[in-house]
Amino acid sequence: MVIVFKPNASSEQIQNVKNYLLNLGFEYHFSEGKEVTILGVIGDTKRLVPEYFLKLDGVSNAFRIQETYKLCSRTFHPRNTRVKVDNLVIGGNDIAVMAGPCSIENESMIYDIAREIRRSGANIIRGGAFKPRSSPYAFQGLGEEGLRYLRAVGNETGCPVVSEIMAISDIPLFEQYVDIIQIGARNMQNFALLKELAHMRKPILLKRGISATIEEWLNSAEYLASKGNQKIILCERGIRTFENSTRFTLDLSSVPVIKKKSHLPIIVDPSHPMGQSDLVIPMARAAVAAGADGIMVEVHHNPAEALSDGPQSLTFKQFENLMREIRMIAEAIGRNIASNEA
């Protein structure tokens, strides 16, 4: 339920509504904006009657949210959510650039890659330690050892780190080693995992499922939000369609659609859908132009020898050029690439 106040509603009138809700045991989210001031009511609002609020002084409208996701909808929370990670803010004017290898293969490679991409301006380092590989014979990641290297590299370069979690039993490791916890496409609807991660205080990067609609994706985000973690960053990574000239079809239209439906930040991973490095670059540029709050790209010191996703991994040179290009695109739309250099 959303209660909208008249532009001239007094603080006493607003407080009256808040007290009424508190007395009935409801919590609320209060959003005071230049154009509109609203209260989003949290809980089982079937007990509330919109008409009751319409009669109160200072109230201009009261209605039920139609979407199945409530806390994540823009109706409930009109202003953009900004997710803080160290001294970076995702979802504000600055654009996050998450980069790094698909998998952490050994200690020296993650150091080499991190130093190089930092020099080009990446502000968050990615690296997989628990890999969701389609084949059981493919490299599965270094596990905790990989997370340990990633943490050390994050500390050395002064940069937050992000890695994918696959199992509830690994939560303590992620608590210890990473700054942003990634939920991969294959786990977007792993509701048991979502419910457990909702109790963590760390930001969650929620990738879109391979065959998930935007509504299903936002409902997965609602699992996190409704159980306590609203530090959610959505990540578009392509969906399965009839088209097979790329690995997946990158649905860039989800960026403006999400911006309309939700207040959550959204970033784009052009690497996994495009599957080939030369195709990744134009879609990374397009993601920034479309209004994404960040990108996540795979970069490798020697893509030909990578243990996973080599063909889509950018070389250092390609990444450096891409950074130069997206700086210009960001500037053209009144944004900046976030900087967290020491």
Q: Residue 185 interacts with ligand PEP (CB under 6 A)?
A: yes
Q: Residue 247 interacts with ligand PEP (CB under 6 A)?
A: no
CB of 303 to ligand PEP, least distance (A): 15
Which positions from 154 through 173 interact with Mn ion, judged by CB under 5 A? none
Q: Residue 296 interacts with Mn ion (CB under 5 A)?
A: no
Beta carbon nearer to ligand PEP, 21 or 233? 233
Beta carbon nearer to ligand PEP, 41 or 212? 212
User: What mask of x and - would describe binding to ligand PEP in positions 140 to 179, judged by CB under 6 A?
Assistant: ------------------------x---------------
Which of the listed partners (ligand PEP, Mn ion, none) does 119 bind, with a CB threshold of 5 to 8 Å by partner kind? none
| 6 vs 36: CA distance, rounded Å | 8
Beta carbon nearer to ligand PEP, 37 or 313? 313
Which of the listed partners (ligand PEP, Mn ion, none) does 179 bind, with a CB threshold of 5 to 8 Å by partner kind? none
Closest residue to ligand PEP: CB criterion: 184
CB of 237 to ligand PEP, least distance (A): 4
Q: Residue 132 interacts with ligand PEP (CB under 6 A)?
A: yes
How many binding residues for ligand PEP (CB under 6 A)?
Answer: 11
Q: Residue 207 interacts with ligand PEP (CB under 6 A)?
A: yes
Beta carbon nearer to ligand PEP, 164 or 170? 164
**Per DSSP, what are the bridge partners of residue 336?**
94
Beta carbon nearer to ligand PEP, 21 or 296? 296
| Two structure tokens written together for 158 | 């002064």
Q: Residue 309 interacts with Mn ion (CB under 5 A)?
A: yes
Q: Residue 125 interacts with ligand PEP (CB under 6 A)?
A: no
Q: Is 199 exposed, middle or buried (0-12, 13-18, 19+ CB in 10 A)?
A: exposed
Mapping DSSP to helix (H, G, I), strand (E, B) and coil, where does residue 262 land? strand
Beta carbon nearer to ligand PEP, 92 or 128? 128
Q: Residue 272 interacts with ligand PEP (CB under 6 A)?
A: yes
Q: Residue 102 interacts with Mn ion (CB under 5 A)?
A: yes
Pairing of strands 161-165, 180-183: parallel
Residues contributing to the site for Mn ion (CB under 5 A): 102, 309
Residues contributing to the site for ligand PEP (CB under 6 A): 102, 128, 132, 164, 184-186, 207, 237, 269, 272
